[in-house]
Structure 1
Amino acid sequence: MAEIVAKNKLLDLSNGWPHDRIYALIQRASGLFIWASTACKFIDAYDPEQQLSILLQTKDMSNAESALDRLYITALESAGEWTDTSFSTDFRAIMGAVLVAKNPLTVAALNELLTFNQPLIHAISKLGCVLYANPIIHILHPSFADFLSNRARCKYDMWFIDLASHNFCFTVHCLDHLDGFLRYNMCSLKLSQTVHVEGASLPEGVSYACIFWVEHVCIIKDATSIAEKLETFLFKHLLHWFEAMAILKRSRDTIGILRHLHDWHMTVWPNNFHLQDLINDACRFAQNFIRIIEHHPLQVYASALPFTPINTTLYHHFHKISQNPQIVMGADTSWSNLLLTFSNIEMCHHLSFSHDGKQVLSGTMNGTFYIHDTTTGVEICTLQGHNKLIPSVSFCPNGSHIVSGSHDQTIRVWDIMTGKEIYALTDGHTDSVNSVAYCPKGQKIVSASKDCTILVWNPISQTIILHLQGNHQFNYAAFSPDGT
């Protein structure tokens, strides 16, 4: 409250304001910090004395959730004239978009995406006690979203935000906005220029729609409701979208985005084979050519499209002999079975996939090993610590750590996020470590060595919990599926 007094010096609030009335607020909070935090924002939104009076007119509520709901209802009632149909319609449109947005939106971005007859900032200013923009649009409190999206809690249709319905509407807004903007060479670039040239940027609303339209589409459960618009958009703007994502320096994201769309399409709309073929082609197009496209947006048309297999739906639909280069001889007719090539790897001695298949480890002869992204082929990090050949590496089941064994007689555990060594197990084997593995639940590590021993380790205490002696060197060790 002292901060509110300090921020509103022109209102001549007295020292110690609001005096004894603070106890009435405490009672209404019902011990709920969210209530207190939200009440302060409500009071500070306009005239503090007036807002406080409105708040104190509400009844005490013994239940914490009821107290919070009463606060939100009070805030909404004071926000505007709800008998005005246009006001309540604008409220639901704005609030619905804010609630379903995948990333916080600025007023400029939302103004682009929503079709309003008046500047959006004017509508937002009327909702000052429940919505504010500086410049990102925020709601009164995250719990306010739960309140608005629960019909039983918010009580009135004029306040209720059906998230599925508003997501559908926002998806349509995104696709319509992109349809009106995307085109060949939308930033008037030249092939001699790179993507980083000055002026190669896109409006905020277009940027948001490019990055998140698939996320919004994939929430829709009834594919028939968006079918025609989605198919029209992809067959018209797929390559323009690749160009836009290159301008945004988000080319590598297109692979995961398209795979998400592919999985959704196969689940909710598996019988549209024509569109399915195009999405399949788009996934391979991204995976094959993204490292070319990201260097220049126009390489979508100048390099990637001409080298697309000629019997694919994507090539047939988008390639125009009069506009695009053509491979005269030796063109591929279909996509290769080879998905990725990892380059710049020294002589590789061991490979291992992560449990989710999204990363691959490669151990080398000189003691260095690499982690690559299996979607993009990009090297994520290089791990150095061993000084001899690494014959074995293994991912922890939860994906947080890696264990490696080396001919330098050591076992090392690494943090995947940082690529840093966490610790080394050096006091176990007296000769080359040939094999390492995590148990299925990750609480144990097993190692096999040329010194004729198999050791089971506790990775937390870094101690040996089982020592098995043999007569010959061990080249491989693994746990049973149940880890016993």
Structure 2
Amino acid sequence: MSENVSNFFPGARDFQINHPTFIHVSPSSDAATLPFPDSYAGQKLKKALVEGLEFIPLAKECMQDTRVAILSDVDTRIGDNEDTNLIWIKGFPGVGKSALASTIVSRLRGQGQLLSYFVFDRAKPTITTTRALWRCVAWDLACLYPAMGPYILKRIDDKTLDINTPNIGSLFTSLIIEPLLGLDGDGSTGVQPHQPVVVVVDAADECGGLEGARSDDRKALLKTLEQWHSELPKNFKVVVTSREEDDIKRRISPISTHIHISITTDEASSDIRKYLEDRLGDIASAYSELPVGWAHETANYLARRAAGVFIWATTIANFIEAGEPQSQLEDIDTGLWLGGEEGSLYVLYANVLKISFKNLRGKQAEAFKTVVGAVIFAQRPFHNSEFTTISPVVTGSMLEYIRNGLRSVIDQGATLRFVHQSFVDFLLSPECPGAFAIREPEQQHQLSSLCLITMSKQLRFNICGLETSSLKNADVSNIETKVKAGIPSLLSYASCFVADHLRHTAFNERLMDGLRVVFKEKLLYWLETMSLLKEMNKAVPILRTVVDWISARDGDLTEFIRDALRFVTAFTIPIIQSAPHIYLSALPFAPEQSLIAKYFLPRFPRLLTLTKGKPSHWSPCVFVSEPSVKSEISAITFSRDEKLFASGSWDGTICIWDSETGIQVQGPFTPSVLDRPSVTGLDFSPNGTHVVATYRYQGPVVWDIEGGKECFCLEHLRERRGAAPPNSKGWEVILSAVYSKDGNTIFSRSHYSVNGDSFHELYDQNRRCRVQLWDAGTGTLAHVLLDVSIPKGGSMPPADDHELLSLDAHFLASVTNENGGFGVLLKVWDLTDRPPRCVIEWQDNDVCLLHHPLAFSADGSFLLVATRKPEHAPIAHIWRVETCTLVGPAITLGPGIDLGSCRVLYSCGYNSLAIGVHGNTSTMLFDVTTGEVVYRGKEPAFIYSCSPSRHGRRIVLGYNDGTIRMWDYQCHTQVVPVTDYTTDNRPNIPKRSVSVFSPCSKMLAMNYGNEIKLRNTATGEAINPSHPIRTESDMLAFCGDGRYIASLTSRSRARDRVSVIDIWDANTGLNHRRLVVPHPRGGSAFPGPLFLSSSNNQLGIGAMILDV
């Protein structure tokens, strides 16, 4: 060929053509010239961002020549690049905000200024979400400015951006902030917009559904709007419409320009008159016998009654249209309501319902509440067939009857949906007549029951009939068709939303029965369903909700579901990718002692079996979390409900994490003072909305978690090191701060020096400690609660960690060195007394203090004091602070532990305690009762901070390499209950402990002082707390059937030694028989092994056989 082949195939690369013969080459459009949305990259990005999302259509636009002044005002504010970039259109329910939003979108589109729009719908809280909003905006951004598409797609492909992350702030930054800043900034995208770029968000008050301001999604929306305002240039505008609700007003009002839709203006009345005249004119055109001018006269009359409320006018027009116009108007006009307040929606709604549903009672009333309740509380709209499944009274004809009666307040589409949220508000309000009033508890219970019954009946193995287990879900041919056929819409709904209804439902034993079936017997079938529905991200939150709901009512089911949580988090990836691999990969590799494995493996005997290397328990490390910017984790703490934890870093940043998955959900929060040193302490407010952070030598700061903002720094603290106490020339440093139990007060612990001339002189021997109370809402100082001197410690200066506030600031513990560094003085004050009272004062002159010498248990019930003697291993003393008593003898921690370790107390119930010693390279757990090491493990890095759970042996640890690990030692330790120890009443702890298993291995008997305790070997729980066996014992033996237990005690009697043998009923604790056996002359104090037979009532002791 004389011509270069590339001329025939422009843009092609890396090809080889041998012996070509070209007959004809037809030109085609170059792929590079395709619009980005139609290109391969565009379709790939569209699939990632908006596939599966459902969008609510805009409302009808305003009629022509209406709302002229407001629309002109909006145009002016959009074009003003000197003012704020957030425009808030607010007004009462029903004044026409959504119609305005629709009209604004249309006008912006015509002017080329529209970037995107989004409509929230309270009836679809799981569909119209903040995540969906910003994913929609990101796609429209890529379509409007094609240079943005490859940037966002690259972030998704290289996995630096997770579309499904629960951290909405991070998603918003990656999808919106960074691309838009690149668009406006350095020109790297090749695009420079020269006019406003506008996003319209309608009905922001409906974000979060009925939970409203309590919803995490609503909080995330407001936070991202604040980010938009603070981080984007002023030509990037957001127009938001909403009611003026408290949380929106608090967060949006200070950063936006407001447009209030008034109902009292002449323009509002004129616009409603035009609307009514148009609607009534259309109605009148179908009736030739109506009086001339009827539409005009009726419109003038009703416009006056509407009082500027558009939805009032819409509802009454719909009602008139539903029947013969004049009679409909007469019915509603003669109602008692019309003499009431003009424009009253609630009165209008009440009269519409009374006229439409005359004499509503019996099955009709039950069906009405069932259907309307489902419309209000369902997480997505129900189909007709789903309504009829809820209750047998809701038949097809009954549903049609209800729809006909609600014609004036519902959409006319196939989905039963109310036109306006104000009608829902009316139905839930006390002003709604009893026959129509909807009560949430009843409806939530009905929906919970519907979900559990549906799942119990329909969940099954291989629910979609997959022919092979070797393919990923995505690779199965016609997978969408198979899923739609195998998982009916109601089962899909129930599987995804059962927890949303359960959390609003009171405990009920019938529901518990349903939970046992679904989340135990059919757990794996449910996981199958969630995998095929691509909803596995909801599995962990659902299981957590179920655990919370059944808490303390069924211990076995609770532990099973907790094990299921470990199963899901451990095998998330294979479960997401392939439903069959729940059985092929996840189940066979579950640990032997996993409750999931024990329950399900026998049901699938043909599965792969591991012969070697299978762990017996779940790894104690639940997850590893890594902040985006690594710095030493200098502080860490759980929230009160332990669903979250907060971490503080050496660089001063704070992050909020999900405690079940380790995913970052908020932050990082960066202090406004850039040189603020490391975070040294953190504490959540009881409601979980705020965190008080203590910074090294600079005052505590209260953070708003939802907004990611500093609320205030406690007063009397300066932005330099130290602050003078009131009326003093000295210095003060607040070392820690915690919230009170009610969250209204913050307790701070500080050191100060009255006479110090510089900050460093705080470390002289004259400093004092005080506890101050601050108003948690304003940060103002209330008063000084406690002010005590810190005794001189010989050659050792007092340390920051020698005092400690307990949970909720109930107690303050303080330890000091005495007598030249040796000798320890402990004092504990009860801060709930006024004035605070010292309830514990204890001194030991033979020991000295360690680093981090104090630790309260997470529930605040116990206090650990760590000391040591010269050249000896550390010693732990445990106090029960409520009774001011020592718990057992001191425990030796060692040998070989790091003296600088973190020491914590794990509460495993009221009477079960373990001490955790978390060192530089290893962790050791000690049984507080026996002093034995019950767990030993290696640490991957140096531990900087720790926070134990209030329940069980979970702990979150922060490391010097910037990682965070959640550990769970529950499966790896069993501890013995503690006993109070005082100088006047010491328990008689034998030097030699005796224990024996029952023949069936389900029970363990052990002597403890003058008592025999029986324990369940599976759970470690005491079996006989209500019928204790009171006796000393040197030997124990069960009979063959476990019904009786024999104890032997050697005693001196005159010149002889005897063995006293008691036979006890293990079920009642009653003494069945007592035998006294003399020892042979010169014989052993203990004659030999003890055997008890249940078959022939004989007991063997050494070589002796006795009848019992």
TM-score of the two chains, using structure 1 as the length reference:
0.72
Give 2:625's match in structure 1, choosing from 323, 326, 343.
343
- Counterparts of 1:92-171 in structure 2, within 5 Å, are 92-99=369-376, 101-107=377-383, 110-111=386-387, 114=390, 118=396, 122=400, 125-129=403-407, 132-133=410-411, 135=415, 137-138=417-418, 141-146=423-428, 153-154=433-434, 167-171=444-448
In structure 1, the partner of 2:296 is 15
Per-residue Cα deviation, 1:135-171 (whole angstroms, up to 9, x for no partner): 4623871244347998xx435xxx6767666555434
Question: Quick one: structure 1 residues 172 and 397, their matched pair in 2 at CA, closer, same or farther if it must change by over 3 Å?
Answer: closer
3-state SS, counterpart of residue 614 of structure 2: coil
Structure 1 residue 276, shift from structure 2 partner: 5.3
Give 1:329's match in structure 2, choosing from 574, 591, 612.
612
Q: What residue identity is the alignment partner of 2:649?
A: T
Q: What residue identity is the alignment partner of 2:680?
A: P
Q: Does 1:175 align with 2:452?
A: yes
Question: Quick one: structure 1 residues 409 and 96, their matched pair in 2 at CA, closer, same or farther if it must change by over 3 Å?
Answer: closer
In structure 2, the partner of 1:429 is 721
Question: Quick one: structure 1 residues 419 and 10, their matched pair in 2 at CA, closer, same or farther if it must change by over 3 Å?
Answer: same
Structure 1 residue 238, shift from structure 2 partner: 1.4
Q: What residue identity is the alignment partner of 2:278?
A: A
Per-residue Cα deviation, 1:178-214 (whole angstroms, up to 9, x for no partner): 333665364959654569x984787653343123224
By percentage of residues, which structure has more helix?
A: 1
Give 1:371's match in structure 2, choosing from 644, 652, 656.
656
Q: What residue identity is the alignment partner of 2:410?
A: Y
User: Any conservation in 2 of the 1:109–1:208 contact (CA below 8 Å)?
Assistant: no
Q: What residue identity is the alignment partner of 2:298?
A: W
Q: Does 1:210 align with 2:495?
A: yes
Q: Does 1:358 align with 2:639?
A: no
3-state SS, counterpart of residue 592 of structure 2: coil
Per-residue Cα deviation, 1:27-68 (whole angstroms, up to 9, x for no partner): xx9xxx99x96685254245174533221122359899xx98
Q: What residue identity is the alignment partner of 2:736?
A: V
User: Any conservation in 2 of the 1:58–1:70 contact (CA below 8 Å)?
Assistant: no
Structure 2, unmatched stretches of 5+, are 1-271, 285-293, 724-731, 752-758, 811-830, 836-1108
Q: What residue identity is the alignment partner of 1:419?
A: G
Larger radius of gyration: 2
User: Any conservation in 2 of the 1:367–1:390 contact (CA below 8 Å)?
Assistant: yes
Structure 1 residue 118, shift from structure 2 partner: 3.9
Distance 1:84 1:223 in 2: 27
3-state SS, counterpart of residue 331 of structure 1: coil
Structure 1 residue 281, shift from structure 2 partner: 3.3
User: Any conservation in 2 of the 1:38–1:141 contact (CA below 8 Å)?
Assistant: no
Question: Quick one: structure 1 residues 22 and 459, their matched pair in 2 at CA, closer, same or farther if it must change by over 3 Å?
Answer: closer
CA RMSD of aligned residues (A): 5.1
Structure 1 residue 374, shift from structure 2 partner: 1.3
Distance 1:220 1:313 in 2: 28
In structure 2, the partner of 1:242 is 527
Question: Quick one: structure 1 residues 366 and 170, their matched pair in 2 at CA, closer, same or farther if it must change by over 3 Å?
Answer: closer
Percent same amino acid among aligned pairs?
Answer: 19
Q: Does 1:76 align with 2:353?
A: yes
Distance 1:110 1:262 in 2: 28
Structure 1 residue 239, shift from structure 2 partner: 1.7
3-state SS, counterpart of residue 355 of structure 1: coil
Structure 1 residue 417, shift from structure 2 partner: 1.9
Distance 1:169 1:356 in 2: 28
User: Any conservation in 2 of the 1:434–1:474 contact (CA below 8 Å)?
Assistant: no
Structure 1 residue 80, shift from structure 2 partner: 5.7
In structure 2, the partner of 1:52 is 329
User: Any conservation in 1 of the 2:499–2:542 contact (CA below 8 Å)?
Assistant: yes
Question: Quick one: structure 1 residues 351 and 69, their matched pair in 2 at CA, closer, same or farther if it must change by over 3 Å?
Answer: closer
Q: What residue identity is the alignment partner of 1:475?
A: D
User: Any conservation in 2 of the 1:394–1:438 contact (CA below 8 Å)?
Assistant: yes
Structure with the larger RCO, 1 or 2 (CA within 8 Å, 6+ apart): 1
User: Any conservation in 2 of the 1:129–1:140 contact (CA below 8 Å)?
Assistant: no
User: Any conservation in 1 of the 2:427–2:437 contact (CA below 8 Å)?
Assistant: no
Per-residue Cα deviation, 1:240-290 (whole angstroms, up to 9, x for no partner): 3223334555534433432332343356x548x5x5554343344345444
Structure 1, unmatched stretches of 5+, are none
In structure 2, the partner of 1:475 is 800
Distance 2:656 2:529 in 1: 29
User: Any conservation in 2 of the 1:113–1:174 contact (CA below 8 Å)?
Assistant: no
Give 1:304's match in structure 2, choosing from 577, 586, 590.
586
TM-score of the two chains, using structure 2 as the length reference:
0.35
Distance 2:693 2:422 in 1: 49
3-state SS, counterpart of residue 330 of structure 1: coil
Distance 1:60 1:461 in 2: 46
Question: Quick one: structure 1 residues 296 and 419, their matched pair in 2 at CA, closer, same or farther if it must change by over 3 Å?
Answer: farther
Of the structure 1 ranges 345-354 and 129-138, higher mean CA displacement relative to structure 2 is found in: 129-138
Question: Quick one: structure 1 residues 162 and 149, their matched pair in 2 at CA, closer, same or farther if it must change by over 3 Å?
Answer: farther
User: Any conservation in 2 of the 1:392–1:405 contact (CA below 8 Å)?
Assistant: yes
In structure 1, the partner of 2:277 is 5
Question: Quick one: structure 1 residues 219 and 415, their matched pair in 2 at CA, closer, same or farther if it must change by over 3 Å?
Answer: closer
User: Any conservation in 2 of the 1:289–1:304 contact (CA below 8 Å)?
Assistant: yes
By percentage of residues, which structure has more strand?
A: 2
Distance 2:280 2:572 in 1: 54
Matched pairs, number: 465
Distance 1:176 1:461 in 2: 50
Distance 1:74 1:339 in 2: 62
Of the structure 1 ranges 359-368 and 295-304, higher mean CA displacement relative to structure 2 is found in: 295-304
Structure 1 residue 370, shift from structure 2 partner: 3.0
Distance 2:590 2:642 in 1: 26
3-state SS, counterpart of residue 296 of structure 2: coil
Q: Does 1:382 align with 2:662?
A: no
Question: Quick one: structure 1 residues 73 and 350, their matched pair in 2 at CA, closer, same or farther if it must change by over 3 Å?
Answer: closer
Question: Quick one: structure 1 residues 251 and 128, their matched pair in 2 at CA, closer, same or farther if it must change by over 3 Å?
Answer: same
Distance 1:214 1:382 in 2: 30
Distance 1:10 1:63 in 2: 29
Per-residue Cα deviation, 1:1-48 (whole angstroms, up to 9, x for no partner): 53343344412463353444667x58xx9xxx99x9668525424517
Distance 2:440 2:744 in 1: 39
3-state SS, counterpart of residue 212 of structure 1: helix
Question: Quick one: structure 1 residues 92 and 183, their matched pair in 2 at CA, closer, same or farther if it must change by over 3 Å?
Answer: farther
